[in-house]
């Protein structure tokens, strides 16, 4: 792994692997079939990009979104890695350039959309270019019942067999059932080397809130984070448009995105979001998969997501740079009824519907949790953790009460009215309201009529909402959404079990105090660095993070590097980016414009050999005309001194064999140079 660590540092600019990365890189580099389930933002891309640089041949990356592939290719090229993409979004010139690079053997990574696998010419191409391995991003798209199913992903298994090369599959959202489907369809049922890394994203703050004027709630949340990039997910196309308009009227840069838009309009929104700092996109779930923008600072759901996996994936688009990020999910009884009805009215078989209800139940359990949400979320994925201190329930624990008696009264009302009515009528019965509907059906004569007068309507609404969330009641699609009791409710009705509920938590959720990315002292410098990055990105017509992600700029602002050596030690500053942007950002930090160093010195920036080279140069200046200053002027080139610093010869004879040295120069400098090398 020594070579891998050298590339990690010199090319990608990282001092070490993130937890779990090294083992996956080793497995992929060794040519083993691999399945890696890693959290969004956990460094999945590096796990196939780095092995591609370790050996011969081309790594073919199958990815679901053109925008994602183009952005990753740009970012790789900025680090000096030869990468290209063949997509329908290419210009003719771009496609010809990729084919030329493949023919000349220059390309190490080839990105390709799954739809291209339907072409017979693709297999011939991949055989001809010497494909060494296949990497599959968003591998859960192979699951036919998953929320991101892509039919062309089903061709990947055939491609692996035809090329007879190892395959590495990556995803952030795969429960046990989905993992089994991936193994079946991509690996013919033969278990690959499997890595299940932690699902925790501790930098993301979790929060849920009951809907109460949801537009106002979203506007309040966005106002507290003005100037930060964010995504608002909505359940309908119409809502994306009206909410985006409301955000613009409130002074935010915002646009909408949904599947009903023209393709050019969608691409423009994607490009703006990648390019602009502080833009808010209000979207359906059509927006997001494959979004590689690392500095999304918040994600809000104006409507309840479809499942806990969808929720996890969607909030995972925030804070991919590791800096603080926040989330807010709004939900209400109408959301719960809608999601239940979508499952019941779908075309899936009964066992699939049961599994989908279970996934929704897990999300509703998270929404109605009474203690640490992160603990509840991670337990779904099989992880145990202590209370996180970074969710709304840890910030302000809810007020709880024994809801057993109230739930039994509600269940009794449901049964005694024939499981034929919705929440509002049932609350009228419980609170003793003599409405025309109650009178017409004779429900005022029921034993349950008025037994809940001790609680106001709003409290009963909260109780029914939590009963839906705990899957004690479900809307019956065959009775226009009338509530019916589930088997889970029977033990409570029979007094064999109890239940704890929360007092209703309707409030205006501004969320936690927005966590600053840096201290007040470093904030002005971070703003200046972002401004410089934005100017460079606009000039190059690339997303800002392709120059440097927020996380790298934050480290610059905090560490304030004063030299190129210091800059080279900042995370995310590899050799190519140091050469391209190091002096530019140093000038922002120090306020001084330094001359560019010799390329040989630039190559050693941040390494111990660079300091040795500096000392050799100083000695050479002192001895250029000999110890007494009267001799013939002699000097070695920067490249020769760099080779001495790197090879560290131990004797004069070894030093003379280094190109550009020779006997005459050795007479002048060898003794002094060896003394420096022996000190280090």
> pLDDT tens-digit profile of 532-569?
998 998 888 888 888 998 889 999 999 999 999 999 99
457 DSSP 8-state letter: H
89 DSSP 8-state letter: T
> pLDDT tens-digit profile of 160-171?
999 999 999 998
Q: What is the mean pLDDT of the chain?
A: 88
Helix (H) or strand (E) holding 329: strand 325-331
572 DSSP 8-state letter: T
**Burial of 359 from C-beta contacts in 10 A (0-12 / 13-18 / 19+):** buried
CATH class of 2-196: alpha beta
Q: Where are the alpha helices (DSSP H) in 368-456?
A: 373-380, 392-395, 404-416, 423-431, 436-440
Ranges of beta strands (E only) in 87-206 are 109-112, 131-136, 167-171, 193-196, 204-205
Contact 218, 57 (CB under 8 A): no
What pLDDT does residue 344 have?
84
Burial 570-580, CB ≥16 within 10 A → b, else e: bbbbbbbbbbb
CATH code for residues 523-596: 1.10.150.80
Q: Where are the alpha helices (DSSP H) in 308-422?
A: 308-315, 333-344, 350-367, 373-380, 392-395, 404-416
3-state secondary structure of 112: strand
* Domain formed by 204-331, architecture: 3-Layer(aba) Sandwich (3.40)
What pLDDT does residue 508 have?
42
What pLDDT does residue 290 have?
53
Ranges of beta strands (E only) in 244-316 are 254-257, 280-283, 298-301
Q: How many CB atoms lie within 10 A of CB 163?
A: 17
User: How far is it, in rounded angstroms, from Cα 254 to Cα 269?
Assistant: 10
Contact 233, 299 (CB under 8 A): yes
Could you say which residues of the chain have pLDDT below 70? 41, 145-147, 174, 288-292, 505-516, 680
* The CATH number of domain 608-679 is 1.10.150: yes
Half-sphere exposure of 208 (CA within 13 A, CB side): 25
Helix (H) or strand (E) holding 585: helix 575-590
**400-502 against 523-596: fold identical:** no
Best CATH choice for the domain 400-502 from the list 3.40.640.10, 2.60.260.20, 1.10.10.10, 2.40.50.430: 1.10.10.10
Q: Where are the alpha helices (DSSP H) in 55-116?
A: 66-78, 92-103
Q: Would you list the domain boundaries of the chain?
A: 2-196, 204-331, 400-502, 523-596, 608-679
Contact 56, 132 (CB under 8 A): yes
- How far CA 465 is from CA of 157, 214, 412, 458, 473, in Å, comes to 44, 16, 16, 11, 9
What pLDDT does residue 78 have?
87
> pLDDT tens-digit profile of 210-241?
998 999 999 999 999 988 999 999 999 999 99
- How far CA 318 is from CA of 325, 390, 500, 592, in Å, comes to 6, 15, 32, 35
**Burial of 632 from C-beta contacts in 10 A (0-12 / 13-18 / 19+):** exposed
Contact 130, 57 (CB under 8 A): yes
Q: What's the whole-model pTM score?
A: 0.73
What pLDDT does residue 510 have?
44
Phi-psi region of 25 (alpha: psi -120 to 50; beta: other; left: phi over 0): alpha
What pLDDT does residue 120 have?
81
User: Any bridge partners for residue 83, and if so which?
Assistant: 109
Q: Which tokens sit at 124? A: 């011939």
Q: Which tokens sit at 89? A: 């979004």
Contact 318, 297 (CB under 8 A): yes
Q: Are strands 482-485 and 473-476 parallel, antiparallel or unpaired?
A: antiparallel
Radius of gyration of the chain (CA): 31
């Amino acid at each position: 792994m020594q070579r891998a660590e050298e590339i990690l540092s010199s090319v990608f600019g990282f001092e070490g692997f993130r937890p779990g990365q090294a083992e996956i890189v080793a497995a992929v580099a060794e040519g083993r079939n691999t399945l890696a389930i890693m959290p969004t933002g956990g460094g999945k891309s590096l796990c196939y990009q780095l092995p591609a640089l370790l050996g011969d041949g081309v790594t073919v990356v199958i990815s679901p979104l053109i925008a994602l592939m183009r952005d990753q290719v740009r970012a790789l090229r900025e680090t000096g890695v030869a990468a290209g993409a063949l997509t329908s979004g290419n210009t003719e010139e771009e496609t010809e350039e990729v084919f030329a690079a493949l023919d000349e053997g220059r390309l190490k990574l080839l990105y390709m959309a799954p739809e291209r696998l339907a072409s017979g010419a693709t297999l011939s191409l991949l055989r001809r270019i010497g494909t060494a391995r296949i990497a599959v991003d968003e591998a859960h798209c192979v699951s036919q019942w998953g929320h991101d199913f892509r039919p062309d992903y089903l061709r990947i298994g055939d491609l692996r067999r035809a090329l007879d090369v190892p395959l590495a599959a990556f995803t952030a959202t795969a429960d046990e059932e989905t993992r089994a489907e991936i193994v079946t369809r991509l690996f013919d049922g033969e278990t690959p080397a499997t890595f299940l890394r932690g699902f925790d994203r501790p930098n993301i703050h979790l929060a849920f809130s009951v809907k109460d004027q949801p537009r106002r709630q979203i506007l309040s949340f966005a106002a507290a984070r003005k100037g930060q990039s964010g995504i608002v997910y909505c359940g309908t196309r119409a809502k994306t448009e009206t909410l985006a308009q409301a955000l613009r009227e409130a002074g935010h840069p915002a646009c909408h995105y949904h599947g009903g838009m023209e393709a050019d309009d969608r691409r423009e929104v994607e490009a703006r979001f990648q390019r602009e700092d502080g833009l808010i996109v209000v979207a359906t779930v059509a927006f997001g998969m494959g979004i590689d923008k690392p500095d999304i600072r918040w994600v809000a759901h104006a409507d309840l997501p479809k499942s806990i996996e969808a929720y996890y994936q969607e909030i995972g688009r925030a804070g991919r740079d590791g800096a603080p990020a926040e989330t807010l999910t709004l939900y209400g009884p109408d959301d719960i009824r809608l999601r239940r009805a979508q499952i019941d009215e779908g075309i899936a078989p009964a066992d699939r519907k049961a599994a989908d209800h279970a996934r929704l139940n897990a999300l509703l359990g998270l929404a109605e949790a009474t203690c640490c949400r992160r603990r509840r979320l991670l337990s779904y994925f099989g992880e145990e953790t202590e209370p996180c201190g970074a969710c709304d329930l840890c910030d302000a624990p809810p007020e709880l009460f024994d809801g057993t008696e109230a739930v039994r009264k509600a269940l009794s009302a449901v049964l005694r009215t024939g499981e034929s009515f919705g929440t509002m009528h049932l609350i009228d019965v419980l609170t003793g309201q003599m409405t025309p509907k109650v009178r017409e059906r004779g429900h005022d004569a029921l034993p349950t009529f008025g037994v809940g007068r001790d609680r106001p309507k709003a409290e009963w609404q909260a109780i029914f909402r939590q009963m839906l969330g705990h899957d004690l009641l479900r809307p019956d699609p065959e009775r226009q959404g009338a509530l019916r009791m589930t088997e889970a409710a029977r033990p409570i009705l029979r007094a064999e079990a109890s239940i704890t509920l929360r007092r209703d938590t309707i409030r205006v959720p501004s969320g936690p105090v927005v966590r600053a990315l840096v201290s007040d002292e470093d904030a002005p410098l971070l703003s200046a660095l972002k401004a410089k990055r934005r100017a460079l990105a606009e000039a190059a017509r690339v997303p800002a993070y392709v120059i440097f992600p927020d996380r790298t700029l934050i480290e610059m602002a905090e560490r304030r590097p004063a030299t190129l050596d210091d800059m080279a030690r900042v995370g995310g500053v590899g050799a190519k980016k140091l050469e391209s942007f190091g002096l530019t950002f140093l000038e922002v930090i120090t306020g001084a414009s330094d001359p560019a160093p010799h390329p040989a010195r630039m190559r050693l920036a941040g390494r111990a050999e660079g300091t040795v080279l500096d000392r050799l140069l100083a000695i050479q200046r002192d001895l250029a005309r000999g110890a007494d200053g009267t001799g013939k002027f002699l000097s070695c080139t920067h490249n020769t001194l760099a080779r001495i610093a790197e090879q560290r010869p131990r004797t004069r004879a070894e030093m003379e064999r280094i190109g550009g040295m020779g006997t005459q120069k050795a007479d002048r400098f060898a003794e002094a140079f060896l003394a420096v090398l022996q000190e280090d």
